């Protein structure tokens, strides 16, 4: 009887230990259109979703959630390997979308036309006036390039990149390196 109880306790201890190792690796879920995450350290691209679509989801799921489901105020279009989300109020170009490669979502992007729909710190980033403002919100990038045309700021460990070109800001999420 003691051996069974000891094995049972050991099994629970191992499960608890494994759970403690895995939880810091995954940030809290962050639905771009719903959650007000304001701490940059809490963002990782593997926990980011766009209207329910996450990196690694199947093409069928992306089509179902973005194209077949009606999203208020948004028109969805599939073009080549991209599913674009277009603001019906100002259909000047995609405001967000995903790229599908090999049957899986491998890129999620949003830009400043999506700022009215997004929440949390990325709404603030999309409304920035300079690369310095973006750094105040997200912290110093791991590497990047800045010139008179704009800036590319890579946050690879968290799995995203910010492209700044004056009033045009684009954020791309891919799996972290």
Selection from 27, 51, 48, 34 nearest residue 119 by Cα: 34
Mean pLDDT over all residues of the chain? 86
Residues present in the chain in total = 177
For 90, the domain range is 25-173
SS3 78: strand
Looking at the domain assignment, is residue 78 inside a domain? yes
Looking at the domain assignment, is residue 12 inside a domain? no
Asked if residues 117 and 33 have their Cβ atoms less than 8 Å apart, the reply is yes
- Which residues are bridge partners to 58 per DSSP? 104
Looking at the domain assignment, is residue 5 inside a domain? no
Looking at the domain assignment, is residue 101 inside a domain? yes
pLDDT of 12 above 50: no
In angstroms, the CA 63 to CA 53 distance is 9
Looking at the domain assignment, is residue 84 inside a domain? yes
Selection from 79, 78, 97, 95 nearest residue 87 by Cα: 95
- Which pLDDT value is given to residue 2? 53
pLDDT of 163 above 50: yes
pLDDT digits (tens, 9 = 90+) for 83-131: 999 999 888 899 999 999 999 999 999 999 999 999 999 999 999 999 9
Looking at the domain assignment, is residue 86 inside a domain? yes
* pLDDT band, very low/low/confident/very high, at 45 (cuts 50, 70, 90): very high
* pLDDT band, very low/low/confident/very high, at 46 (cuts 50, 70, 90): very high
Domains in the chain, number: 1
Looking at the domain assignment, is residue 18 inside a domain? no
pLDDT of 80 above 70: yes
DSSP 126-151: HT-SSHHHHHHHH---SEEEEETTEE
In angstroms, the CA 140 to CA 155 distance is 9
Looking at the domain assignment, is residue 14 inside a domain? no
Asked if residues 159 and 46 have their Cβ atoms less than 8 Å apart, the reply is yes
């Amino acid at each position: 009887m003691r051996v069974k109880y000891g094995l049972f306790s050991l099994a629970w201890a191992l499960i608890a230990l494994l759970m403690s190792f895995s939880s810091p690796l995954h940030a809290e879920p962050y639905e771009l259109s719903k959650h007000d995450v304001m701490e940059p350290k809490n963002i990782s691209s593997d926990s980011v979703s766009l209207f329910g679509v996450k990196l690694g989801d199947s093409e069928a799921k992306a089509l179902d959630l973005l194209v077949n489901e009606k999203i208020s105020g948004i028109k969805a279009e599939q073009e080549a390997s991209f599913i674009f989300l277009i603001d019906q109020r100002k259909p000047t170009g995609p405001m967000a979308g995903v790229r599908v490669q090999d049957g899986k979502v491998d890129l999620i992007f949003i830009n400043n036309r999506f700022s009215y729909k997004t929440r949390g710190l990325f709404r603030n980033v999309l409304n920035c006036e300079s690369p310095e403002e973006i750094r105040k919100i997200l912290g110093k990038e791991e590497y990047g390039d800045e010139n008179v045309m704009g800036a590319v700021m890579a946050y690879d460990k968290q799995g995203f990149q910010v492209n700044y070109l004056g009033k045009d800001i684009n954020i791309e999420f891919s799996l972290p390196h």
